[in-house]
Amino acid sequence: MTPFQTILAKELRCFFVSPILYVVGAVFLFISGLIAHLMTVNAGQQAVRFLQVQNTYAQLNLNELVFRSLFYSLDFVLMFLLPILTMRLFAEERKLHTFELLLTSPVGINELISAKYMSVLVIYLGLLSLTSLTPIILSLYASFHWHPILTGYVALAFQGGLFLACGLLASATTENQVVAAFLSFGMILLIWLLGGLGSLLGDTTIGTVLSYLSFTEHYDRLVRGLLEAKDIVYYLSGIVLMLFIAHRVVDSHRWS
């Protein structure tokens, strides 16, 4: 086994024996199920209203009524939940003094960070894949377009990936897990609010730059079914930047 695989396996093992994963997973799946349920009931009521008013079956746009709202709500849920998942990554190693073991073993910081990031990404994508039950079950009773749903999942995967990278960076800066969670939550919120600030400034250069830096417009495009390279580049470069800063932070502990 390479050091990457070794650390990845150990991280996954630690996730599965700690209560954090089960609590975060249960809350995430419960909320996503509840939202999907509410949206579907809402769509059903609209169908009934159509039937009463027009006396015909109207073709409801489920993509619009159910899934887009679901993806926007889930984005919000992830902002709160993913920092809980990432807070222990490095903070715990420093608290337990196992950081010294890792850094005095023949393992590069690159391998360390990529394995840790990969572990939370695997956990998150696993949880996310469980929410696909909603479109699968719904497809048995109704028809809708799959394409925007797939790009919606791509959006959620990248969005979550970015949040996890922010969380990993926050965790690398402190040995207190609560501080790490709040720090990553703050970072995510800040990136989100940049979008609001950007749209406030409108079409000026600063406005455009701020809107680009925020994930809002990129996420929006993907959820609406537009799969464009620039959005993928945005997410990938954001993730790489966060992990690179985390690398510098971990390395700098050795010098202080």
Tokens of 242: 């966060």
Our CB check for another protein shows the closer of 112 and 128 to be 112
Tokens of 256: 């202080």
Does 130 bind another protein (CB under 8 A)? Our answer is no
Total chain residues near another protein (CB under 8 A):
25
Does 6 bind another protein (CB under 8 A)? Our answer is yes
Can you tell me which of 107, 150, 179, 245 binds another protein, judged by CB under 8 A? 107
Does 106 bind another protein (CB under 8 A)? Our answer is yes
The answer to whether the beta carbons of residues 46 and 65 sit under 8 Å apart is yes
Near another protein in 155-174, by CB under 8 A = none
Closest separation in Å from C-beta 1 to another protein: 5
| Stretch 64-103: interaction string toward another protein, x if CB under 8 A | --------------------------------xxxxxxxx
Tokens of 232: 């993928």
Residues 6+ apart with CB under 8 A from 162: 191, 215, 235, 238, 239, 242
- Tell me which stretch binds another protein (CB under 8 A): 6-14, 64-72, 158-166, 186-194: 6-14
Tokens of 35: 């939202």
Our CB check for another protein shows the closer of 218 and 247 to be 247
**Can you list the alpha helix ranges (DSSP code H) found in the chain?**
3-17, 19-54, 62, 69-86, 88-96, 98-103, 109-130, 133-141, 147-172, 177-201, 205-213, 216-223, 229-253
Does 20 bind another protein (CB under 8 A)? Our answer is no
- Using alpha carbons, list the distances in angstroms from residue 164 to 59, 97, 98, 134, 170: 39, 23, 22, 24, 10
State the residues that interact with another protein by CB under 8 A: 1, 3, 6-7, 9-10, 13-14, 17-18, 96-107, 254-256
